[in-house]
Amino acid sequence: MRTVLKILTSLWIALWLVLGTLMFLETPKQIEKDKKFIADEIKPSVDFVKNFKMTNNRLPTNREYYNWQREYFKDYSSDMKQQVDSLTPGFGRNRYIRKLTDVVIDDDYSKFKNADWNKDFAIGIWRGEWTEYYFSWTDNYDSNNYSWGDGFFGLAIMIGIGLFPLLFWWRDYRQRLYSASVVCNT
């Protein structure tokens, strides 16, 4: 029985070490994917809004932004039939945010506390588990920004999970040593 337990524990440790190593080796690809996402998905919208503002001395309306988005991304999911501009929503790729209630999830409200909605805007994109943003008032991107530190942290977590059963082995080993020393001393 102990042999089977040792084999299963060894397989458990090997599985987590392999998974951790594979995830860690994906770190450079994830870093590049995050940079590419910003360059391909968020930056074109930011550039459009900034150029529009420079040319027209105002921010684009929802209709102007979503018309541009439809053509640029070939994304025809926005409802352009609305008569009132503020009701023209973007259902597709990017969210053009001109006030806090524009498709901002409650958990992200604190990120918008310094916005002056008379002159500022944000672009947001849902990535399946979180939203990535561009904020005009700080001229910065709030994104996943996966890093080597994240890769090392993930590797450490996986190694920790893999090595967890060794705690039980160590406890069992110490108890056997203690029992043996008690027997020898008597």
Coil vs helix vs strand at 134: strand
Q: Residue 125 is which amino acid? A: I
pTM for this prediction: 0.66
Enumerate residue ranges in the chain where pLDDT < 70: 1, 76-93, 101-103, 105, 145, 169-186
Tens of pLDDT, residue by residue over 38-63, are 889 899 999 999 999 999 999 998 88
Question: Is there a contact between 107 and 131 (Cβ–Cβ < 8 Å)?
Answer: no
Q: Where are the domains of the chain?
A: 1-186
Question: Is there a contact between 54 and 29 (Cβ–Cβ < 8 Å)?
Answer: no
Tens of pLDDT, residue by residue over 92-102, are 567 888 877 65
Q: What is the DSSP track for 4-42?
A: HHHHHHHHHHHHHHHHHHHHHHTHHHHHHHHHHHIIIII
